Structure 1
Amino acid sequence: MTGLDNLTLARKEGWRRFVEAPARTQPETLSREQIRRLDDRSRADYDRRRREWHANLGPLRTPQLAELHEDLWDIVDSNAHDGDKAKGAVAIDAFPGLGQTTSVLAFAKQFHLREVAEHGPRTPEGHERWPVCRVGLTGNTGLKDFNRAMLEFFAHPGTGRGTASQFATRALDCMISCHVRLLIVDDLHFLRWRASTGVEISNHFKYIANEYPVTLVFAGVGLAQRGLLDEVDAAGNPVLAQSGRRTTRLGMQPFLIDTAEHRRQWRAVLLAIEQRLVLAEARPGMLADDLSDYLFARSTGHIGSLMTLINRGCQRAARTGAERLDQTVLDGVKNDAAAENARRELDAALTARRITSRNSTTTTRGHAAATAS
């Protein structure tokens, strides 16, 4: 799957490429001597394939992703009731870097494939079947922009002119014709919510839940604080209660190391990552045994920060000829600002052995990783 830009999933053609793309093939791991023997062209090709592979290591089936997917299947499948009943919505509310967007897209891909496998690529009326519609919001999005974005997903010719209500009606026609069952609204925190339009937005989502044959899945940061799940508005009126009562809030948590089970989960994800690294000197235990505490401090248990650090570390290790991940290599790699700012306290606690990411009974190299997907 190559050439996907940041706008691809906002269009149905791009969504299809995402859903139908074959799984990437992991490049073979060559020894230093084998790499040295490659001619210039073969070496350039090998390095390119490794760059692309390490930049796209996920998603991993972490406990957080597995739990979220189980909850989503419960809610989406229970919404298969008749059209006269409003469908429950989902709000995935989590801090950045915990993988909520990646997890939602992975679920939506599975859902899309299941629906097409069960019902075929076309509806009984002959329209293209699009089980999923994804809308990604941008800064300070209003209702008209939101409705237009829904319509643009289908490449509808009527996006150039119209009112918010007209865009919504056209989008409804598309979703009914294409048998859309899942409407994903990503980055919902960009929607103007607490301003005077809060009630209008709440009513609009209620309209979608009532009239559109879809399960609404919101994903964003601080949704509860922004009033999405409130019982009352800022003036104390219970105008938001219906949206709050119909919306199930789901979250995602960072990795923790406060219990033996949490430490096992952390080790399992490191072992799963190890299996995916294509470096000449990669070996079992390189991350899970040698760098467990270090990686926890550098990522603060956030899967997004961890994968960013691993990806950049692999790029540097391959480019410089280190061909392994160790503290020397990773010390030279910059991570996201939030992780770097939060690591100092963890570093001190781990160094002083007040906390640890490893269980005393943990076995050494070669233990299988249950979280690889």
Structure 2
Amino acid sequence: MKQAGAGLGLSVPAARDQVAGWDTWRRARHAFVPAPARTFGQWRAMTPLERSAFDLHRMATHANLPLLDTPMSQRVDRLLSARIRTNAFKAKPSTRAGVMISGGGYQGKTETTCEIVAAFEDSWRALHHQVHPDASPGTRDLWVPVAYVQTPVTAKPKSTCKAILNFYGAPTKNMDLPDLIRQVAASLTDHGTKVLVLDDITRLRMHRADDQDTLDLIRAFMSMNVTLVLIGVDIPASGLLREGRLDAASGQGVLPPSRHATAHGLEATQTERRFDLVELDRFRYDTDEQITAWTTHLTGVEQALRLMNAPPGMLTSGRMPEYLFARTNGVVGLLERLIEDGCTEAITSGAERLTENLLDALPLTLAGASRDAEAGEIPAVPAAPTRRPRAGRRRNTAFDDHGPAASDTA
């Protein structure tokens, strides 16, 4: 029996906002090996050490549930993948249209986007036989098709440039803003970057002058021959698009030119900055189609669980789909947290199955260190239901035979 973690693909979480961390995550993102399915009999036949290791493996499995496709994520995948690939093959110096991915907190925006752009990088590297196609003769430039950067909490033009340059490990000391912008442009070009992802973009507050300048600078990045992907919470309501207009013909948001557009020698004729806006929404539970989509997703989750007393349809039969929706409001991140905590409790308690009573005792708390509540990154969590004892069901006595009616003269 393997020790827990040995050969399972488990490792220290990589810092994806740095080149080495991103590459480590990209290569290993599908490497985790879930625990095999076992019966109670097989579990009892193990030695105590084997049982302990197997239980740890099961907990690791529940802590690393697979990223499942949903109708909403598939819509994002279709749009983003097509946009990235179209832009990657453009030879003209025109501005590349970008993509804004909006949605609520804990709805899987970051993981969905990272999976899509990592899949693009895999295919782009394979297309070029793992060799940087635009490397300068006589040099060995590090090839970085995708750059993933988190927007600084207090974003300013300088700090945003430095966050991008920190991804590449490029120097930033003693540089003024024009130098930083030129260094960003040089890094994107020299490393063959085709996609620049800026996560948590709605940390920008449009009532602050520094944040307005930062957004203006970000628009300039679109002229650097990359696909700019912005991820944020409720982008339409954030103010990021308030200066733009919607192009009815293309369905794209069109933003005015950036004042920084000539800071590093860009052509002044590039006057438009276009974005496709796509929503990664939560599940809904109003129509038959929506209920079916939710239940299908629960089926996928259930198949990934390793509980030894779990009946068929544990998450999809009876009231459970409706209960899970009420606890999570259809937010996939909240569902994952509830299921993970529930499986841990089911294993440690010996119940080995998920029930409403077991889940009722588990509050959903989202005290995440890297989440900005003011930017909407922490969603409202539905309160756990308060169960009342069910009153005994009253029997229908309408058809009871009470015998002959009493006489008035008796």
Same fold (TM over 0.5): yes
Q: In the alignment, which residue of structure 2 is the partner of 1:196?
A: 209
Shift in Å at residue 173 of structure 1? 1.6
The SS at the match of 1:176 is helix
Sort the Cα spacing of 1:110 and 1:160 in 2 relative to 1 into closer, same or farther, 3 A.
same
Aligned to 2:239: 227
Scaled by the length of structure 1, the TM-score of the pair is 0.84
State the match for 2:189 in structure 1: 176
Judge conservation of contact 1:92–1:100 (CA < 8 Å) in 2.
yes
8 Å CA contact retained: 2:363, 2:384 = no
Letter of the 1:92 counterpart? I
The corresponding residue for 1:98 is 107
Q: Do the aligned partners of 1:286 and 1:325 also contact (CA within 8 Å) in 2?
A: yes
Counterpart code for 2:190? S
Q: Secondary structure at the match of 1:134?
A: strand
The counterpart of 1:152, out of the listed 141, 166, 170, is 166
Q: Specify which of 262, 286, 296 is matched with residue 258 of structure 1.
A: 286
Question: What is the aligned partner in structure 2 of residue 278 from structure 1?
Answer: 306
| Residue 54 (structure 1) aligned with residue 68 (structure 2) | no
- 8 Å contact kept, 2:152–2:160: no
1:354: which partner in 2? none
Cα deviation digits, residues 102-143 of structure 1 (max 9, x gap)? 111111111110111111333142423211000012321211
Equivalent in the alignment of 1:356 = none
1:166 equivalent in alignment to 2:175 = no
Q: Distance in 2 between matches of 1:340 and 1:33?
A: 39
The match for 1:295 is 324
* Equivalent-residue separation in structure 1 for 2:92 and 2:221 (angstroms): 12
**1:76 maps to which residue?**
84
The 1:19–1:169 alpha-carbon spacing in structure 2 relative to 1, beyond 3 Å, is same
In structure 2, the CA distance between the partners of 1:245 and 1:148, relative to structure 1 (3 Å rule), is closer
Equivalences for 1:1-373 in 2 at 5 Å? 1-5=9-13, 8-21=15-28, 22-79=30-87, 80-124=89-133, 125=135, 126-156=140-170, 158-210=171-223, 212-231=224-243, 241-242=256-257, 246-290=274-318, 291-336=320-365, 338=379, 340-341=381-382
What are the superposed Cα offsets for residues 175-226 of structure 1, whole Å, 9 maximum, x if unpaired? 212211010000112235331135422331232111x121000001132333
C-alpha deviation, 1:39, in angstroms: 2.2
**Which amino acid is 1:19 matched to?**
R
CA distance in 1, matches of 2:364, 2:383: 11
What is the aligned partner in structure 1 of residue 269 from structure 2? none
Q: Matched residues in 2 for 1:318 and 1:324: separation?
A: 8
Deviation at 1:20, TM superposition (A): 0.7
| CA deviations over 1:276-303 (Å, ceiling 9, x no partner) | 0011112321101141111111111111
Report the residue type matching 1:226 in the other structure: S
| Residues 255 and 343 of structure 1: CA distance in aligned 2, closer, same or farther (over 3 Å) | farther
Tell me the SS of whatever aligns to 2:95.
coil
The structural deviation recorded for 1:45 is 1.7
Q: Deviations over 1:247-283 (max 9, x none)?
A: 1211111111211111110110011111100111123
Closer/same/farther in 2, CA of residues 109 and 64 from structure 1, 3 Å limit: same
Whether contact under 8 Å (2:255, 2:274) holds in the other structure is: no
Q: 1:341 to 1:261 in 2, by over 3 A?
A: closer
Contact persistence 2:161–2:181 (CA under 8 A): yes
Task: Flag the structure with larger Rg.
Answer: 2
Q: Is the 8 A contact 1:87 1:215 kept in 2?
A: yes
Higher fraction of helix: 1
Distance in 2 (CA, whole Å) between partners of 1:308 and 1:58 is 13
Counterpart-to-counterpart distance in 1, 2:160 and 2:230 = 13
SS in 1 for 2:105: coil
Q: Distance in 2 between matches of 1:245 and 1:331?
A: 49
Q: Which amino acid in structure 1 is aligned with residue 124 of structure 2?
A: E
Distance 1:2 1:141, change over 3 A: farther
CA distance in 2, matches of 1:340, 1:149: 32
Structure 1 runs (4+) greater than 6 angstroms displaced: none
Gaps of 5+ in 2: 1-8, 246-253, 259-271, 367-378, 389-410
Aligned residue type for 2:213: E
1:50/1:148 CA distance change after superposition, 3 Å? same
Identity of aligned residues (%): 27
Secondary structure, aligned partner of 1:3: coil
Q: Please tell me whether the aligned partners of residues 116 and 129 of structure 1 are also in contact (alpha carbons under 8 angstroms).
A: no
**1:168–1:4 distance in 2 versus 1, CA, 3 Å:** farther
How far did 1:78 drift?
2.5
- After superposing the two structures, state which structure 1 stretch, 24-33 or 308-317, moved more: 24-33
